[in-house]
Structure 1
Amino acid sequence: MKQPAKTLWFDRPRYVYVEFCVENSSDVKLDIEEKKLVFSCKNEDGEELYNEIELYDKVQPKDSREKRSDRSITFFVRKLKEKVAWPRLTKEKHKPAWLNVDFDNWRDWELDEETEMAALEEYAEMMDKVKEKPTPPSMDDLDFVTTVISCNTAELKVDTNGKKKTIKGYNVILKDTVLFPEGGGQPDDRGSINDIPVLRVTRQGPDAIHFVEAPLEPGSEARLMVDWERRFDHMQQHTGQHLITALADLKFGFRTTSWELGRLRSSIELDTPSVTTQQIEVLEKDVNEKIQDHVAVNVRLLSVDDPEVEKVRSRGLPDDHAGPVRIIDIEGIDTNMCCGTHLPNLSYLQAIKILSAEKGKKNKTNLIFLVGNRVLKYVERSCALEKSLTSLLKCGPEEHVEAVDRLQKSVKLLQKGNLNLLRDLAVLVAQNFKNNPHRQKIFTLHRKDGDNEFMNIIANEIGAEETVIFLSVGDEKGAGMFLLAGPEEMIDRLWPRVAEILDGKGAGKRGRYQGKANKMSKRTEVEALLREQVTSSCAEEE
């Protein structure tokens, strides 16, 4: 019995890529007509698969190609009308019920067709290699039992959602530990002792200090567990840093002066005022080739007085260092003194992406990079963002920059037009007040979409010699700006009280003040105060 094969659909500027997901296919037959594609084959179980697709628009059958692998058969169907986007078939009302389509737009259309085809295949192969993660190193030594040496009361300052707070707890020293204390540019590990979360691990001489919120009895048994996801991420980033540092030095003579393992991305400070785009491309290509070569990474311990210590790359030992010196050796590439956690083989890095080179301090350059799982997460976020922009901008990814540029220009024109209208409105508002034969000696106005210039035009047109003017702009329920002007003696006396009511700050002199208000909702209280003062002043004059 015939059945359809799962189909993945990629719409590109010149081609439509149709991928039939069939493992170990045989008897493959394909018939491409101007508006129709018929595909049939047998899978590894001998089942006959058959797909018949009515195409959205005409194609060029003689200028189409195919690529076959052990998992799928991909057809590159040349469009008759180039750079015309085809609609998402999953949204077509008359599509065949069996057609399973995954629409994707993850590549730009900027390159010419030959370069585009080559880049597509290279990218697909790279992502396959990234997804084929090797088995992580053995974790047998990451869950073990040791003994509590000491436990003393302590405090830990933490930053939670931008707010600093102090946690009371205990500093615990163990006979041995598998939790890495922060150092060498690498953050500390997380984990638990007897199921009690470890919130910080620091180094004090030869000892690791574990901060926990519950006490542990000295001499008692302690079972440690490592947060492996965090540890493996740090191992990937740190080993990747060693590789980038070594090749940047070997290739271009760029010496690393420091590095930082960040929460989302990491950076290496290079002792050079600039790094070109071409140098970044060469460096990224070389580091990824070393990953594919499955180069071993070995750890050795040497005594401090060993002559070999002087030969390895290092920034020197800490003043309170004790014990042997730890050497990280990437076979044939680099030998470096380091206390951090590393992977046993470069293949565990999966892939490295150098994002950018940014100007650093003191004539240096910061290289921003991602390693391993962070590369995959970055691609996931980028794809999600790209799909959101495609939906919002109503165009393909290759047109996003142009579309945003058009929107920005439109917004600038609208803002300019709006400002002109506000200026005209300000003049009309002031003239309307001045032309009123029954006008009062106080003028107040609030406008949500106004600005400082709007308020100044009104105040200047009306004149503040005899009239008390109170203007405000912004959201009535939030913050905004205000202007207070009028007879000097009255305004100078009322200004501090007005600023207090509005919870605002400002500046001015001689009967005219402007400022920002945090409580615009209190403006009615200001109006009441001013009317009271104006009424009192008029009564005194009479």
Structure 2
Amino acid sequence: MLKDRIYYEDAYQKTFISRILHTSKDVQDRPYAVLENTAFYPTGGGQPHDAGTLNGIIVIDVEEVDGEIRHFLAEALHSNDEVEGQVDWNRRFDHMQQHAGQHILTAAFVELFSFPTISFHLGKGLVSIDLDVEDISPEQLSAAERFANEIILENRPIQTKFITEDELQHYNLRKQLAVTDEIRLVIIPEFDYNGCGGTHPRSTGEVGLLKIISTEKQKRKIRVHFVCGNRVLDQLHRKHEELSTASKLLSAPEDGVAAAIDKLLETNRATEKSLEDAQEALLIFEAKELITRQTDSVIKASFTNRTVQELQKLARLLVGEGNDSIIALLTAENGDKIQFVAARGPSATASMKAVSAAVLPLVNGKGGGNDAFVQGGGEKTMSAVELADLMENSLQK
């Protein structure tokens, strides 16, 4: 029976001795052992499996398959009798803190705002619950977090018990149960009554502290990320290291990092604007130089490491006001890619789409535009100069 399993009888038991029922391998050739009884919690209900050792061999996974708990091992277990198990207590207690914290936070959302939790995930770094609501305010998050920590600080008992289906009527459960036999309840008296198969501490005080980290929208639901217990300290340590590093990089005190970043962003925006203005001035100068050197109505120019956006701006300047009859053919090599732009002035009659259609197959490329202005690119099957020559040849045809 479920209630006879060691991790349910005593979630604090770290070592145990059990008889081996059988050993085998799964379809992925992973060796596993099935024991008469175990303190290892198998993955389930949003809670990951326990870790540890059996006779010194590392337990890498624990799963319940067809009613038996399989302990997957780093290597085959060479024993046919008894085995000594050692549960990784740090991992077990962390899971107990996080899972109990989830019960408390979930109940807080229900108590304060009637926001039901529809799923729970206990990850390596963060824990998350999905609330069946489309939106949530910072004030609601703060209120739920504060209420949850009040329950933790009160150090209320956390009780677990197995009951029958007939006994369910005596408990005000938070949600409907999916099972009807061997029903296990986790109870925080006068606060939360919930069916659960996870491991939990004896009191809310052992959860330590709960901190909501962030939220995100997930398919018209709100996912709340949080941490409990020792993970709060881990998050605090990590964030303090980041803040300290940022403080040193910015040459600002830690409480002045935000102001220093604002100033840096303002300076960066001004620098970007100055750079854009300078680039625009250079393009205007470059266009004038190309027009000055032209000998006929076609201006060809080839470049290296020029973006198609720059080619487009330069082409528009070349065929702009006062240059009605000019046709601009610009190409550029960018790594293993080649790109081009073709543009004509208002009085030129050649079709730039025809130019694009002529050269795109040669570079296995794609492009778009109209008769007056096109752009495209593809593989660098030739140099930028050769591509420009082919574009000019297509005009003559």
Band of TM-score, shorter chain: 0.7 to 0.9
Question: Which of residues 152, 155, 159 is equivalent to 2:25?
Answer: 152
Rounded to whole Å, the distance in 1 between the matches of 2:376 and 2:287 is: 18
Q: What's the RMSD between the two structures over aligned residues?
A: 3.8
Post-superposition Cα deviations, 1:110-165, rounded to whole Å, max 9, x if no partner, equal xxxxxxxxxxxxxxxxxxxxxxxxxxx9854444333142413323xxxxxxxxxx
Paired residues for 1:105-504 under 5 Å: 140-155=13-28, 168-170=29-31, 172-212=33-73, 214-216=75-77, 219-302=80-163, 304-308=164-168, 311-313=171-173, 315-318=175-178, 324-356=182-214, 358-359=216-217, 361-362=219-220, 364-436=221-293, 442-447=300-305, 451-462=307-318, 468-472=329-333, 482-485=339-342, 491-499=356-364
Rounded to whole Å, the distance in 1 between the matches of 2:54 and 2:21 is: 10
Letter in 2 for 1:290: I
Gaps of 5+ in 1: 1-136, 156-167
1:532 CA drift (Å): 7.4
SS in 2 for 1:154: coil
Post-superposition Cα deviations, 1:157-191, rounded to whole Å, max 9, x if no partner, equal xxxxxxxxxxx524554333322222222222333
Rounded to whole Å, the distance in 1 between the matches of 2:166 and 2:14 is: 28
Quick check: 2:311–2:330 contact (8 Å CA) kept in 1? no
TM-score by length of 2: 0.77
Q: 1:534 to 1:338 in 2, by over 3 A?
A: closer
Paired residues for 1:35-74 under 5 Å: none
1:485 CA drift (Å): 3.7
Rounded to whole Å, the distance in 2 between the matches of 1:188 and 1:268 is: 19
Quick check: 1:151–1:218 contact (8 Å CA) kept in 2? no
Quick check: 2:250–2:257 contact (8 Å CA) kept in 1? yes
Post-superposition Cα deviations, 1:79-121, rounded to whole Å, max 9, x if no partner, equal xxxxxxxxxxxxxxxxxxxxxxxxxxxxxxxxxxxxxxxxxxx
Rounded to whole Å, the distance in 2 between the matches of 1:434 and 1:252 is: 70
The total of aligned residue pairs comes to 372
Rounded to whole Å, the distance in 2 between the matches of 1:526 and 1:265 is: 52
Rounded to whole Å, the distance in 2 between the matches of 1:229 and 1:465 is: 75
Rounded to whole Å, the distance in 2 between the matches of 1:480 and 1:532 is: 17
Letter in 1 for 2:359: L
1:470 CA drift (Å): 0.7
Q: Percent identity?
A: 25
SS in 2 for 1:264: coil
Post-superposition Cα deviations, 1:336-380, rounded to whole Å, max 9, x if no partner, equal 210011111222211112335555544x54433210011101111
Gaps of 5+ in 2: 1-9, 320-324, 344-351
1:218 CA drift (Å): 8.9
Quick check: 2:59–2:72 contact (8 Å CA) kept in 1? yes
* Larger relative contact order, structure 1 or 2 (CA cutoff 8 Å, min sep 6): 2
Q: 1:528 to 1:391 in 2, by over 3 A?
A: same
TM-score by length of 1: 0.58
Rounded to whole Å, the distance in 2 between the matches of 1:232 and 1:506 is: 59
SS in 2 for 1:199: strand
Post-superposition Cα deviations, 1:31-81, rounded to whole Å, max 9, x if no partner, equal xxxxxxxxxxxxxxxxxxxxxxxxxxxxxxxxxxxxxxxxxxxxxxxxxxx
